[in-house]
């Protein structure tokens, strides 16, 4: 009798990574393109004017093969898989919109002004917006496709009790909707008109 495991989808377990024996790089496929991460030594990193550790290659625009060295995706392989998959699966504009999605997924939390900070909860497949050690809301990606065709279809935010709060096709749309939903209601003016 086999037992199925319900693995929660999250960055780091979406794509099928393989180690290339000749280079030591790790390679995966996403939407018909080969995607690669490589580990730079301190010396190699100095030559590239970057940090040692794992780095993602941007795909070449013409042939889709690995092109220029891209972002530093972390010091350890599991963390590199997580961050590389975020850069691969999410649109670049989402990753760079304030508050930066790559920082939120990365684990250290990213501040979002008076609203608090956004932290990952990989075991739950979500992010949490926290303010003063309390959850304000949870944010979840809605996935489309499997394996090499996986992508984020939209983002949804929920109050801690589970009621919907905001949604957006892009990270920016979600953040805009959350900003409106979490802002205090305007106070009505009590200034009396001055009759002439």
Predicted confidence (pLDDT) per residue in 133-170, tens digit = 899 999 999 999 999 999 999 999 999 999 999 999 99
How confident is residue 70, by pLDDT bands cut at 50, 70 and 90?
A: confident
120, pLDDT greater than 90: yes
Q: What is the mean pLDDT of residues 25-32?
A: 92
Q: Which residues, in sequence order, are CB contacts of 158 under 8 Å at separation 6+? A: 137, 138, 140, 164, 165
What was the pLDDT predicted at 2? 42
175 neighbors 168 (Cβ within 8 angstroms): yes
Domain boundaries defined on the chain: 10-89, 91-182
Q: What is the mean pLDDT of residues 53-58?
A: 90
Dmax over CA atoms of the chain, in Å, equals 88
Give me 96's structure tokens. Answer: 């760079």
Rounded Cα distance, 82 and 17, in Å: 11
How confident is residue 57, by pLDDT bands cut at 50, 70 and 90?
A: confident
Q: For all residues of the chain together, what is the average pLDDT? A: 87
103 or 185, higher pLDDT: 103
What was the pLDDT predicted at 1? 45
175 or 195, higher pLDDT: 175
What was the pLDDT predicted at 48? 84
Q: Is 54 exposed, middle or buried (0-12, 13-18, 19+ CB in 10 A)?
A: buried
How confident is residue 69, by pLDDT bands cut at 50, 70 and 90?
A: confident
């Amino acid at each position: 009798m086999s037992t199925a495991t319900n693995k929660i989808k999250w960055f780091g377990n979406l794509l099928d990574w393989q180690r290339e024996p000749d280079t030591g790089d790790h390679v995966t496929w996403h939407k018909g393109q080969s995607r690669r991460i490589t580990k730079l030594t301190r010396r190699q990193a100095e030559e590239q004017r970057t940090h040692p550790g794992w780095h993602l290659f941007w795909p070449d625009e013409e042939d889709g093969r690995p092109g220029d060295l891209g972002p530093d995706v972390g010091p350890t392989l599991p963390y590199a898989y997580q961050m590389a998959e975020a850069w691969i699966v999410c649109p670049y504009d989402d990753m760079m919109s304030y508050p930066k999605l790559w920082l939120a997924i990365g684990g250290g939390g990213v501040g979002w002004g008076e609203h608090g900070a956004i932290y990952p909860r990989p075991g739950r497949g979500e992010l949490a917006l926290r303010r003063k050690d309390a959850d304000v809301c949870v944010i979840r990606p809605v996935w489309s496709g499997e394996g090499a065709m996986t992508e984020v279809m939209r983002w949804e935010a929920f109050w801690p009790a589970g009621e919907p709060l905001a949604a957006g096709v892009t990270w920016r749309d979600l953040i805009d909707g959350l900003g409106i939903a979490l802002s205090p209601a305007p106070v009505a003016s009590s200034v009396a008109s001055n009759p002439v």
